[in-house]
Amino acid sequence: MKVLLLSPGYPGEMPQFTRGLAEVGATVLGVGDQPAALIPEPAKSALSSYLQVRNLWDEEAVVSAVRTWLGRQTVDRVECLWEPGVELAGKVRDALGVPGLSAEQSFAFRNKERMKQVLDAAGIRTPRHISATTVARCWEAAGEIGYPLILKPIAGAGSADTYRVHDEAELREALALLRHVPEVSVEEFVDGEEFTFDTLSVDGVPAYYNIAWYRPRPLVARSTEWISPQVVALRYPDQAEYAGGVAMGFAVLKALGFETGFTHMEWYRKADGEVVFGEIGARPPGAHQVDQMNFACDIDVFRGWAEVVCFKRLSENVQRLYNVANIYKRAEGQGTIRQITGTEHVRRLCGPWLVWDNLLPIGSRRRDWRQTLVSDGFLVVRHPELAATLRMADEIGTRLRLYAS
């Protein structure tokens, strides 16, 4: 198999997917705007060749450059696992005649309004929604939908530039903050717990899936600095309480015509048990949640994805062994991290169930918590029992503290 991979070295988890392709025997041709010398391992050693383009987001230029670079050489797959490049991958597939999501299909995974229109037509419950390109239309949409509501970019990722609005005053404030966004989705606010439905799918059918629980909801975590957000991969995704979300996930993949590869869907469960679609991407989750899946089953999902896209099979021995919690930490204060407290308490409490400490070391500059869920690092704990996993996660959230000045 010969795979053309867009952006093989960035963002953080991409080198592991590149490594996975090489390990299953694929010849990997990379295309990106990183200089070749700056591509991190293990991506660098996994690439057979690499084309550096001037600007990865100049889609016409990239398609033309790829055509010229390949010449008469053909490829079997074109893949991109980074949200902004999903449509570009579709356009490259169209240009090269390679199977997979077309540009038109990819558009429905990037444009939240088109996405929900397709799902509405399929009878899938989505939040009431209206797209808007002007301030006046946002006000009209708010009147039609009613408060509270959510404003989010039509082609955003995660919770960036997303605001919950309770009244006219908050709508006015949010619109001022969204001036740089050309088109927004004005949506019904769905009050409920939020989960993921992540899949490795073959011809539209999940060969593996994962459900993760956001504690608290991403919108709350992204708007309250002192919170230590958690994402908890659940050991038993087939329990009755998640059945509605799983069924919805299967239906969403069918309605959108997804074929083979990774998907990351978010959905809500209301207090009355109703499940409501959130959004879906034709790519994996970020913030090291793929690593979390590995810890949950003691498998290599990066390599599993590569096998799925190359050979349409998954030979990983999936045994759901653990609940796994990623706890993301934010330093108090600004500047350089000077002190970390609670470390010994956490290590004594968690013992062997603490499987990854990825906190920034003392002396590091604090990151902007509004720009990355990973914030100033994270810890990962796992345990066969959910209650034990949550106890450890909550102790890390409250007792482990980073101080910056």
Q: What is the pLDDT of residues 124-133, one digit of tens each?
A: 999 999 999 9
> According to the model, what pLDDT value does residue 160 have?
73
pLDDT digits (tens, 9 = 90+) for 284-338: 999 999 999 999 999 999 999 999 999 999 999 999 999 999 999 999 999 999 9
Residue 312 one-letter amino acid: K
For residue 161, pLDDT over 90 is answered with no
- Helix ranges (H only) for 268-377 are 289-297, 301-311, 343-350
- Give pTM, 2 decimals: 0.93
- The tokens describing 224, both together, are 């309250």
Which of the four pLDDT bands, split at 50, 70 and 90, describes residue 155? confident
State the Cα angle at 275 between 245 and 247, rounded to 5°: 30
Which of the four pLDDT bands, split at 50, 70 and 90, describes residue 112? confident
Which of the four pLDDT bands, split at 50, 70 and 90, describes residue 348? very high
Please state, in angstroms and as integers, the Cα–Cα distance from residue 332 to each residue in 221, 393, 398, following that order: 15, 19, 13
Average pLDDT rounded to a whole number, residues 257-276: 97
Q: Residue 3 in contact with residue 16, Cβ under 8 Å? A: no
Q: Residue 342 in contact with residue 405, Cβ under 8 Å? A: no
> According to the model, what pLDDT value does residue 204 have?
96
Q: Of 209, 223, 222, which is closest to residue 267 (Cα–Cα)?
A: 209
With H, G, I as helix, E, B as strand and everything else as coil, classify residue 244: helix
- The tokens describing 169, both together, are 């005053």
Strand stretches in 136-190, DSSP E: 149-153, 163-165, 184-188
Considering the chain, what percentage of its residues have pLDDT values greater than 90? 95
Give the separation between CA 401 and CA 12, rounded to whole angstroms: 24
Give the separation between CA 35 and CA 40, rounded to whole angstroms: 10
Residues 6 or more apart in contact with residue 272 via CB below 8 angstroms: none
